[in-house]
């Protein structure tokens, strides 16, 4: 693979100071034999990230013959990964002693990073290995998603296969046939993405090193299963800190004077003392108010930028209540349906070569949203900026997004598609303009002010109002607040009053505001043209939030994210260097710099090693060892956890263990069968591993049926379900 200019070099060579031979892989199974279709016919192998994407590639390339795990035809073999086929091996791969948790064994610091597949994906991994080893394959094309994780997914499989065949990189931002075809016509040199692979590898290893070592350190120290993460712990800390400020907030009263004269109401500055405000109002009674200043200024508000992923997730949460994870899932689906461009982007602009096709996209958006505007959006130059586009441009509709193409979208998909379409229109509309009038009135020794606004042109706000109406969003209308005609020197005897107000507490985080906080963490004082540091990336922030909820550190209260006692106590025991966003944000920034070749992988990892090792050697547990008594629920013990053999107890939403394993009452599998999990059922499952159910309902026929449900564990904290039927019986 030509990642470093040397034929046959590992794509992971030089990462984290490890020699190529240090990256051993644990192979989950032998590769099956794959027959060559025709002796002497040379083939190119394309590897996509998902089966659906591979099908699109195959259609474009003419690989129309379906095989077991790949397509063939037109001189191409097109196969796929299923997300990450290989991941870092668990600690036991580096020694059996790590099966037991002892602080004395920390840190677990691999000198030879090992990788392992999963039982569910080993067949496809073996297929890919066999395809890469076929003698008729002359070139391998990396068609994984065009980003850091896509580079890692392909790179690990390529190394696992011990391939030495030259590679090319497919780098596209749209799944439209024309974009895919153009991408294959303009394949990139894989060596251009070596630094991206290094950054992906370092991110993965840093997360493993921090998570494995610090999770063990604090779990042992407090006799509870605690999960500590490089990004998730600082994120949790921000939520806990905000929640503390809200719960401990003491509102303070303040008082303002209101003056009514000249056909308007003007207000004074705030006064903390009511008696002082009342005395000032009394002193002004009967005195003449004088207009001392009238200024009128024309003002404009620029249109919004296009969507990057984080902004789309924020606004979808605000408008529809969608979680960040759901928004990413919906946008990915629309991308694969060729209706939106690539979702995992941090850019809010498009490139110059896209400008000529944008008017057509605007026309489609207007038709799809049924908007009849006073002025058609046409300012394409406002959204074009090559310098602000790195790997991918902003999320926009594709030329394929016609009315007929979107006719069968589900409600949620339609909402997201319409939101992106409306943003394209708003971003290319003209400015919102208005006149602002400011009036200053003196009465005695007190100065009062009032402001008025006269809207001259709604501009892009007309589109936003139309979209809000389309999706049923209640918003405050932009209206005129015109002041009466006034001039300096006018006088009038006013009416005065005192109005009481209170200071407002900070608001709890929603996914909207937390995503913003994650994006901007560590950026205080950073110049605008410098990369914002931030926690995580647009592609990972949703999963970080979702994982904190699954682990029981956060709960959702409507749109708010609220820390649980377990989450609060975890932040209580973590030292500042682990929970502060500053260090992690700095690491994220260095990963971005690594992608540009500005930071060496070994230097980055050395900083991670040092930080974790320092935490381990300086850690002094708090005296209170009972901070996590209810990690696995309270009350009656229902049985032994199938993963760790500790006690399973009931919690408000699940039956769970302190190790993190949980059977949710609203389990998706049971819900799909028209049922839910009960305490009686869980007791039987924990006792025997299986239990009879008599209240399942077939989604196909609507009829009830019975079976035996079998419980088994997976490599996650959630169960795997199987159904067993009596002989001769079917669902």
- Alpha-carbon distance 731 to 723, whole Å? 9
- Alpha-carbon distance 217 to 664, whole Å? 28
- Alpha-carbon distance 569 to 591, whole Å? 30
Buried b vs exposed e over 234-257: b needs ≥16 C-beta within 10 Å? Answer: bbbbbbbebbeeeeeeeeeebbbb
Nearest to 212 by CA among 85, 84, 89, 119: 89
What is the number of residues in the chain? 731
In a domain, 196, yes or no: no
**CATH number of the domain within which 243 lies:** 1.10.460.10
Which among 445, 468, 502 is the end of a domain? 502
**CATH number of the domain within which 466 lies:** 2.70.20.10
Q: Which residues are marked as active site?
A: 342
714 and 702 inside one domain: yes
Which among 373, 400, 430 is the end of a domain? 430
Residue 67 CB neighbours (<10 A):
17
Residue 677 CB neighbours (<10 A):
21
pLDDT of residue 34: 42
- Alpha-carbon distance 454 to 434, whole Å? 5
In a domain, 199, yes or no: no
512 and 569 inside one domain: yes
In a domain, 157, yes or no: yes
Nearest to 236 by CA among 614, 566, 533: 566
594 and 689 inside one domain: no
639 and 542 inside one domain: no
Question: Treating both helix axes as pointing N-terminal to C-terminal, what angle do 309-320 and 541-550 enclose, rounded to 10 degrees?
Answer: 50
* Global model pTM greater than 0.85: no
pLDDT of residue 530: 44
31 and 93 inside one domain: yes
Nearest to 601 by CA among 150, 171, 113: 113
Which among 408, 430, 452 is the end of a domain? 430
398 and 440 inside one domain: no
728: left (phi over 0), alpha (psi -120 to 50) or beta: left
pLDDT of residue 390: 79
387 and 426 inside one domain: yes
pLDDT of residue 702: 83
**Which residue's entry shows tokens 């580079």?**
151
In a domain, 585, yes or no: yes
**Which residue's entry shows tokens 């003056």?**
259
Kindly provide the residue ranges of all beta strands, DSSP E only, lying in 468-604, ordered along the sequence.
491-492, 495-502, 554-557, 560-563
727 CB burial (10 A radius; 0-12, 13-18, 19+): exposed
Nearest to 541 by CA among 238, 270, 275, 247: 238
Residues of the chain where predicted confidence (pLDDT) is lower than 50: 1-39, 525-530, 631-632
Nearest to 341 by CA among 349, 332, 329: 332
Domain that holds residue 683: 634-724
pLDDT of residue 635: 59
Two tokens at 366? 């207007």
406 and 422 inside one domain: yes
In a domain, 4, yes or no: no
What domain count does the chain have?
A: 5
pLDDT of residue 18: 36
284 and 330 inside one domain: no
514 and 610 inside one domain: yes
239 and 257 inside one domain: no
pLDDT of residue 728: 56
């Amino acid at each position: 693979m030509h990642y470093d200019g040397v034929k046959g070099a590992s794509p992971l060579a030089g990462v984290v100071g490890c020699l190529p031979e240090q990256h051993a892989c644990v192979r989950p199974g032998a590769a099956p034999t794959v027959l060559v279709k025709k002796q002497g016919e040379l083939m190119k192998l394309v590897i996509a990230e998902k089966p659906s994407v591979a099908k699109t590639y195959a259609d474009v390339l003419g690989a129309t013959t379906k095989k077991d795990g790949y397509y063939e035809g037109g001189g191409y073999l097109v196969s796929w990964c299923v997300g990450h086929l290989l991941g870092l091996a668990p600690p036991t791969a580096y020694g059996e002693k790590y099966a037991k948790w002892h602080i004395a064994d920390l840190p677990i610091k691999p000198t030879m990073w090992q990788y392992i597949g999963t039982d569910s994906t080993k067949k496809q991994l073996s297929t890919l290995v066999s395809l890469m080893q076929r003698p008729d394959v002359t070139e391998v094309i990396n068609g994984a998603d065009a980003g850091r994780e896509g580079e890692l997914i392909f790179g690990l499989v390529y190394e696992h296969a011990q391939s030495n065949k030259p590679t090319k990189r497919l780098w596209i931002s749209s799944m439209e046939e024309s974009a895919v075809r153009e991408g294959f016509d303009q394949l990139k040199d894989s060596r251009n993405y070596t630094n991206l692979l290094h950054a992906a590898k370092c991110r993965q290893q840093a997360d493993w090193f921090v998570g494995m070592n610090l999770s063990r350190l604090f779990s042992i120290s407090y006799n509870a299963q605690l999960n500590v993460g490089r990004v998730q712990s600082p994120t949790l800390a921000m939520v806990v800190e905000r929640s503390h400020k809200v719960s401990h907030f003491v509102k303070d009263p303040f008082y303002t004077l209101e003056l009514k004269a000249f056909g308007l109401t003007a207000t004074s500055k705030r006064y903390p003392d009511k008696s002082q405000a009342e005395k000032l109002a009394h002193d002004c009674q009967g005195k003449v108010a004088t207009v001392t200043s009238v200024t009128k200024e024309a003002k404009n508000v620029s249109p919004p930028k296009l969507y990057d992923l984080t902004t789309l997730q924020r606004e979808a949460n605000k408008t529809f209540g969608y979680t960040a994870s759901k928004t990413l899932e919906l946008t990915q689906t629309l991308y694969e349906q060729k209706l939106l461009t690539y979702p995992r982007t941090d850019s809010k602009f498009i490139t110059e070569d896209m400008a000529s096709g944008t008017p057509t996209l605007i026309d489609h958006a207007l038709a799809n949203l049924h908007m009849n505007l006073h002025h058609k959006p046409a300012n394409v130059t406002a959204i074009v900026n090559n310098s602000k586009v790195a790997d991918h441009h902003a999320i926009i509709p594709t030329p394929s997004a016609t009315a007929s193409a979107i006719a069968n979208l589900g409600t949620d998909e339609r909402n997201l598609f319409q939101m992106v379409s409306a943003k394209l229109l708003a971003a290319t509309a003209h400015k919102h303009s208005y006149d602002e009038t400011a009036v200053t009135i003196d009465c005695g020794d007190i100065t009062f002010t009032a402001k008025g606004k006269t809207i001259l042109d709604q501009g892009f706000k007309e589109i936003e109002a139309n979209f809000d109406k389309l999706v049923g969003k209640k918003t405050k209308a932009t209206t005129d607040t015109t002041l009466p005609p006034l001039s300096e020197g006018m006088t009038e005897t006013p009416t005065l009053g005192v109005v009481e107000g209170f200071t407002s507490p900070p608001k709890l985080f929603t996914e909207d505001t937390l995503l913003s906080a994650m994006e901007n963490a560590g950026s205080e004082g950073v110049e605008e043209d410098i990369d914002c540091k931030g926690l995580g990336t647009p592609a990972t922030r949703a999963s970080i939030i979702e994982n904190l909820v699954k682990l029981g550190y956060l709960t959702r209260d409507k749109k708010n994210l609220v820390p649980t006692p377990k989450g609060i106590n975890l932040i209580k025991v973590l030292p500042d260097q682990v929970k502060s966003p500053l260090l992690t944000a700095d690491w994220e920034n260095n990963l971005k710099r690594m992608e540009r070749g500005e930071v060496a992988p070994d230097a980055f990892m050395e900083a991670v090693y040092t930080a974790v090792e320092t935490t381990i050697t300086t850690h002094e547990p708090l005296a209170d060892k009972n901070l996590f008594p209810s990690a696995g629920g309270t009350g009656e013990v229902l049985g032994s956890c199938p993963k760790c053999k500790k006690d399973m107890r009931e919690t408000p939403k699940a039956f769970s263990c302190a190790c993190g394993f949980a059977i949710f009452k609203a389990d998706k599998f049971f819900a799909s069968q028209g049922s839910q999990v009960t305490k009686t059922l869980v007791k039987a499952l924990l006792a025997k591993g299986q239990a009879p159910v008599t209240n399942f309902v077939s989604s196909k026929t609507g009829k009830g049926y019975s079976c035996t449900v079998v419980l088994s564990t997976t490599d996650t904290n959630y169960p795997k379900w199987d159904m067993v039927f009596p002989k001769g019986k079917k669902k």
